[in-house]
Amino acid sequence: MNKPGSDSKIIAFTLASFVGLILLTGCNDVTVKDNNLLGYQAVSEKEYDAALQFFDAAEKEHENLQEAYRGRGIAYMGKADYKNAVSALKASLSESDGRIGGLEFDTAFYLAVAEFRSGDPSASKETCTSIINLRQDDPDAFFLRGKAELALNEVDMAVRDFNSAVSYKKDDPDLYIDIYECLVNAGASDEAGSFLKSAMELTKINDFQKGKLNYFMGEYDEAKDRLEAARGDGSDPELILWLGKTYEALGDKSYAASLYKTYLEDNQGNVEIYNQLGLCEMDTGNYADALQSFETGLKQGDSEIIQSLLFNQIVAYEYLSDFKKAAVLMESYLKSYPDDEAAKREYKFLKTR
């Protein structure tokens, strides 16, 4: 189970840019620099518990509360605690002085992502609409609102928003691909095909992007050649992920698994590769190794595919015949994702074992 998308890349870029801005300006308030800045630095290093302590200290010392609450929300997102993230980000927005600037837009986008990941697409859609009403050329807000609408089974509205997103990023093949994946996962294959066709017609496109498009077209040999040509030193996790998926599609799951493992030996934080490695190991019957991969991925914190990792972890326990553990985890899973009908059916089965 895997639900790919692009908001993780968007918020990672936003956070990196914001931390860099604080470092450059040094802020005007020394106390902010002592706690809020240290908190954001901890977030950038994925030290989320330490970050929360810094933001708590900032609040107690009455520093910049807007920044403290915002940072707390981002840290909670890092811990995949989206409900607390939503509360903190709303608190940050409530501290605004009424002027809407880059910080407020940035916080609102984090809020929309947190709402979406917490299983509340209606709230996420509403937040995105608020952003779009004030900034009508924001492709990221249109894209995320489209994802929320898909979750609400509003396919026509989603397609309209996806078209708006690409109207502002006409030459970005990755956006077309992200939209294609979202629509396919939502069962809207016909609508997805038009975006894939538009991406194939782009002229400014590199081997990596062409390789991904070949993959989605089912042209796996061509995809392999393109992705191998773009491989370089093998340090790009997204390239390794798609190259591995291509080898899997070609039936060489052992080589795909070796690609994932080799990458993770030196780069241990990529959640999607842990998840894909686990899926590959399950396909080859290595259920204990698969479980370890899923659980290692879960330890990395915030990820758009946290739901996939949790579900796959449960499936691995089932294959290992540990039905009691699987049932306990499924009960917890359904508290976070109560609308997952497949999981509900699986839970009924687990309770009979």
307 φ, ψ (degrees, to nearest 5): -65, -45
pTM across the whole model: 0.78
Q: Is the pLDDT of residue 23 over 50?
A: no
- For residues 198 and 180, give the distance between their C-alpha atoms in angstroms, rounded to a whole number: 10
Are 272 and 237 spatial neighbours (Cβ–Cβ below 8 Å)? yes
Q: How would residue 13 be classed by pLDDT, with cut points 50, 70 and 90?
A: very low
Burial of 79-99, coded b for 16+ CB within 10 Å and e otherwise, reads: bbbbebbbbbbbbbbeeeeee
The candidate with the shortest Cα–Cα distance to 69, out of 87, 42, 49, 83, is 87
Q: Is the pLDDT of residue 342 over 90?
A: no
Rg, Å, the chain Cα set? 21
> Domain 206-267: which CATH class?
mainly alpha
| Angle CA 287–290–291, to nearest 5 | 90
- For residues 193 and 184, give the distance between their C-alpha atoms in angstroms, rounded to a whole number: 9
Q: Which amino acid is at 234?
A: G
Q: Is the pLDDT of residue 29 over 50?
A: no
What average pLDDT does the chain have? 88
Q: What is the pLDDT of residues 128-152, one digit of tens each?
A: 999 999 999 999 999 999 999 999 9
Question: Region 81-108: what's the mean pLDDT?
Answer: 91
- For residues 84 and 116, give the distance between their C-alpha atoms in angstroms, rounded to a whole number: 13
CATH topology identical between 120-204 and 275-353:
yes
Say how many Å lie between the first and final Cα of the chain, rounded: 23
Question: What residues contact residue 53 under an 8 Å CB cut-off, 6+ apart?
Answer: none
Give residue 195's region: left, alpha or beta (phi > 0; psi -120 to 50): alpha
Question: Region 327-338: what's the mean pLDDT?
Answer: 90
CB count within 10 Å of CB 192 equals: 22
Q: What is the pLDDT of residue 302?
A: 65
Question: Tokens representing 312?
Answer: 């796959």
> From the centroid of its chain, how far is CA 273?
13
Alpha-carbon distances, residue 283 vs 277, 280, 286, 291, 306 (angstroms): 10, 5, 8, 12, 20
DSSP 322: -
- CATH number for the domain running over 120-204: 1.25.40.10
DSSP 28: S
- For residues 333 and 343, give the distance between their C-alpha atoms in angstroms, rounded to a whole number: 8
More confident residue, 300 or 32: 300
The candidate with the shortest Cα–Cα distance to 3, out of 175, 194, 142, 151, is 151
Question: What residues contact residue 41 under an 8 Å CB cut-off, 6+ apart?
Answer: 19
Q: Is the pLDDT of residue 8 over 70?
A: no
218 φ, ψ (degrees, to nearest 5): 80, 15
- For residues 114 and 73, give the distance between their C-alpha atoms in angstroms, rounded to a whole number: 9
120 φ, ψ (degrees, to nearest 5): -125, 70
- CATH number for the domain running over 1-118: 1.25.40.10
Which segments of 37-136 are extended strands (E)? none
- For residues 93 and 109, give the distance between their C-alpha atoms in angstroms, rounded to a whole number: 11
275-353 adopts what CATH topology? 1.25.40
> From the centroid of its chain, how far is CA 174?
15
Q: What is the pLDDT of residues 219-243, one digit of tens each?
A: 999 999 999 999 988 889 999 999 9
Domain boundaries in the chain? 1-118, 120-204, 206-267, 275-353
More confident residue, 267 or 76: 76
Q: Lowest-pLDDT range, 15-19, 51-55, 109-113, 169-173?
A: 15-19
Question: Region 176-189: what's the mean pLDDT?
Answer: 92
- For residues 124 and 118, give the distance between their C-alpha atoms in angstroms, rounded to a whole number: 9
269 φ, ψ (degrees, to nearest 5): -105, 5
Q: What is the pLDDT of residues 154-176, one digit of tens each?
A: 999 999 999 999 999 988 988 99
Q: Which residue has the tokens 């860099």?
A: 20
Q: Is the pLDDT of residue 9 over 90?
A: no
